[in-house]
Structure 1
Amino acid sequence: MLFSGLALLFATGLLDSARPVPSSFDAQVRQYLLQNPEIVVESLQRLENRRQLADANELQTLIAERRDDIFNDAAAPTAGNPEGDVALVEFFDYNCPYCRKAAPDIQQAVEDDPNLKLVFKEWPILGPGSEFAARAALASHKQGKYEAFHHALMGFSGRVSESSTLTIAGDVGLDVEQLKRDMEDPAIADAIARNRALANDLRITGTPTFVVGDEIIRGLVDLATLQRFITDAREKPEG
């Protein structure tokens, strides 16, 4: 405990590492730590805070470096204002229950904000049904029905599978046979692969995950929280 306690105190700046440590000091520190265990807790918290700050700074740098991949990938469907001053990016899976819960709030955020651009990142992580639905959704873009198809898939109450995806496609007016052919376009598989690589680079591990400005929002949040992040991104100068 002594050495770990000393290391924590030095690492967090509670002790000066350049100062000579007399032999009697070891016993004094040990006794002090035993009598004041909250010092160790405080030291651990300081280290954790530093780690979190370093991780956040690293991710903000990465977002800046990958800005075009995140916000301006031509293969990623969009909604809202394509020339909006703020872009909200969502990584999602059609079989993710939290993505489905988030969908109405995302739509409301777009309706409430005429200067918001919404970027869809198809990221199927929940099995073959999700993969098929993501490919079908991207293929529907060629028929000009991506947004309607996306909302219908998100509004589906059951497990999205190959058969349910095609049924929903027909319900929203897509030419299903054309859709199947368009799904074979290698560009669709490439777009999904790029989303997977980007999610990995950004250390995204679950859905839904949002990127707005230089912030990553992990998990389901309510409309007010989402709008606050959008406002913060709008008020923060670029660069």
Structure 2
Amino acid sequence: MNRRIVVLVISIITAVGFVAAAIFQQQFSSEQEIVPPAPLDPNSLVRSYSPVIGPKSAPVTIVEFFDPSCGACRILYPIVKQVLAEHPGDVRLVMRYVLFHRGSEEAARILEVARKQGLFVPILEAILDAQADWHDDPEAQKAWEAAAATGLDVEKAREVILSSEIDAVLNNDMADVKAIGIRRTPTFFVNGVPLTKLGAEPLRELVRSEIERAAQ
């Protein structure tokens, strides 16, 4: 009898977990109304040191304020990647760090040392894939392991992980996060225009409209 109760309880917990995961996935794959930040200085969106994916001369710039520990950022990253692939030459992605969660700072530092080694994109994707294993770990050990497996020279990375240069990147990004009023991740701007609905189609529509505007 006791064994049956234990099995029943485990089954219920598992079912609840699957339902919660499905709700989370649906929440961020559908369109969501979001409140854009207050009017801001356009210069605070893109900094000269910010990581850039795509051609630097592209007429349309997507700025994403993202937290490496953020589940929604992980879910939406493939969509952003698709948007870039749909408009080669026309769109670039500028990534700004937001450090709202445990493990976020360590993961951001890993990304910065990966950038110095020319591995920013593959290691970004690797640590996002492994996010469930490290997002609540301040030392982000599994993120380090994922980065190492993707080719990061960990010994060299450890030598510069706490450098004043990386400190400045993270501190300046968080100062802009506060000044702009970023309260959730991801937050997107396209050529300075805030994305007011979080979803694949609203992002695509805003990008298309800005490409058309830039071509006029």
TM-score, structure 2 normalization: 0.74
Tell me by how many angstroms 1:232 deviates. Answer: 2.2
Q: Larger C-alpha radius of gyration, 1 or 2?
A: 1
Cα 1:199–1:74 change in 2 (3 A) is: same
Provide the C-alpha distance between the structure 2 equivalents of 1:122 and 1:219, rounded to a whole number of angstroms.
21
1:150 counterpart residue number: 124
Provide the C-alpha distance between the structure 1 equivalents of 2:214 and 2:194, rounded to a whole number of angstroms.
17
Residue ranges of structure 1 left out of the alignment (5+ in a row): 1-51
> Is the 1:140–1:146 Cα contact (8 Å) retained in structure 2?
yes
Q: Which has the higher contact order (CA 8 A, sep 6+)?
A: 2
Provide the C-alpha distance between the structure 2 equivalents of 1:198 and 1:218, rounded to a whole number of angstroms.
19
How does 1:133-172 map onto structure 2 within 5 Å?
Answer: 133-156=107-130, 157-160=132-135, 161=137, 162-172=140-150
Cα 1:177–1:91 change in 2 (3 A) is: same
Which of 42, 49, 60 lines up with 1:66 in the alignment?
42
Which of 83, 93, 98 lines up with 2:72 in the alignment?
98
2:4 counterpart residue number: none
Cα 1:218–1:188 change in 2 (3 A) is: farther
Tell me by how many angstroms 1:158 deviates. Answer: 2.6
% same residue: 25
> Is the 2:60–2:210 Cα contact (8 Å) retained in structure 1?
yes
**Equivalent residues, number:** 176
Cα offsets for 1:173-195 (capped at 9, x unmatched): 01001111121211111111111
Q: Secondary structure of 1:158's partner?
A: helix
Cα 1:208–1:218 change in 2 (3 A) is: farther
Residue ranges of structure 2 left out of the alignment (5+ in a row): 1-34
* RMSD after superposition: 2.2
Q: Secondary structure of 1:173's partner?
A: coil
Tell me by how many angstroms 1:76 deviates. Answer: 1.0
TM-score, structure 1 normalization: 0.68
> Is the 1:81–1:117 Cα contact (8 Å) retained in structure 2?
yes
Provide the C-alpha distance between the structure 1 equivalents of 2:198 and 2:70, rounded to a whole number of angstroms.
11
